[in-house]
Amino acid sequence: MLRAPRCLLWTSVAPAAALAAALLSSFARCSLLEPRDPVASSLSPYFGTKTRYEDVSPGLLAGTEAPWRDPELLEGTCTPVQLVALIRHGTRYPTAKQIRKLRQLHGLLQARGSRDGGASSTGSRDLGAALADWPLWYADWMDGQLVEKGRQDMRQLALRLASLFPTLFSLENYGRLRLITSSKHRCVDSGAAFLQGLWQHYHPGLPPPDIADMECGPPRVNDKLMRFFDHCEKFLTEVERNATALYHVEAFKTGPEMQNILKKVAATLQVPVNDLNADLIQVAFFTCSFDLAIKGVKSPWCDVFDIDDAKKKGEVLEYLNDLKQYWKRGYGYTINSRSSCTLFQDIFQHLDKAVEQKQRNYSLEFCICYSFGSLNLL
């Protein structure tokens, strides 16, 4: 689940810079559109990387396989010869860690309900009781795996790209597609679903064969390229294994903004504020997004935040998530972005090679897709 389509596209022929800028510009504008889906929660703009694709690209609700084309995207003077895409995995289940935290919060509400019978001071059934009875269908085995909706996301993305660049995604080019993925199961499965979508484009109505039997071959696992941060000793030492690296995140969790949210949620759920913490509040917030993305339902978990000051609560929780990503994956530490140099060097080497081979009339890989789970961007 993403705030915006995480596919960055380049073509390797002039005016490549203008085309890349147009693509990025079109994606940026798309991310500012308001959700039109009546099921969408008022919290949807604050889910960050847990946001449904269709909430930031409402055009997907009208046609999931038809691309939205910027009128200035492809001028007649520009002929794309290669496409490079960085593709985030599709919609997934919560991780086992998130599920354990949700189970902890759910157990807290059930224990509270058994003490007072789930009635509020006015005798009416309250939100805490409703959440205690709400089916907790997430299980540890799910652990961030791709859901069927996520496979559908990837198949439809492949169809949109093939429609947007028909000359590149021709049947004769199919064998020259290269798809690289990390070893994370949700990324491998996303890559496989993407290839199934292309098969559907080339052979409508026919069931796809096993991925290993496709002409382009299965996605190639390369963790040194796609999970470079796991192979960068300086990043591991200075950030990943550094107990103080996320000091600012922990400080915000106990700061006045978050404490105000804790008090309001405790009052809403009618539980002692000392039984709650920022992590439990955040997992409730994300559960709203997961139920919305995976099942298309607005669960009572959304009401924890929708009842009062939804915008303010959403902004605080979104900021908490952004703060963590800033210090762990973003510009907080210099090594965060520098660790991605290996991947970006690989990307630009392919672009340079494409220009050279085009000039010599050599055949080349027409599409290189990198499927990733989390990324430290330059």
List, for residues 94-106, the tens digit of each pLDDT value.
Answer: 999 999 999 999 9
Contact 91, 52 (CB under 8 A): yes
Q: What is the pLDDT of residues 153-180, one digit of tens each?
A: 999 999 988 988 888 888 888 888 889 9
**Which residue of the set 89, 106, 203, 248 is catalytic?**
89
pLDDT at residue 275, as a whole number: 94
Contacts of 6 (CB under 8 A, 6+ apart): 86, 87, 88
pLDDT digits (tens, 9 = 90+) for 288-332: 999 999 998 888 899 898 766 778 888 999 999 999 999 998 899
Structure tokens at 6: 């995480």
pLDDT on residue 95:
95
* pLDDT, average across residues 323-348: 91
201 falls in which pLDDT band (50, 70, 90)?
very high
pLDDT more than 70, % of the chain? 76
Q: Where do the CATH 3.40.50 domains begin and end in the chain?
A: 80-92+145-236+333-373
More confident residue, 367 or 338: 338
**If you ran DSSP here, which 8-state letter would residue 146 be given?**
B
pLDDT at 78: 72
89 catalytic per annotation: yes
Q: Which of 340, 120, 324 is nearest to 226 (CA)?
A: 340
Task: Quote the pTM value.
Answer: 0.81
What's 80-92+145-236+333-373's CATH class? alpha beta
Beta strands, E only, the chain: 9-10, 83-88, 177-181, 220-221, 367-372
**What one-character DSSP code corresponds to residue 237?**
I
Name the 3-class secondary structure at 202.
Answer: helix
For 111-159, how does the pLDDT look when each residue is reduced to its tens digit (9 = 90+)? 986 666 555 554 445 899 999 998 899 999 999 999 999 999 999 999 9
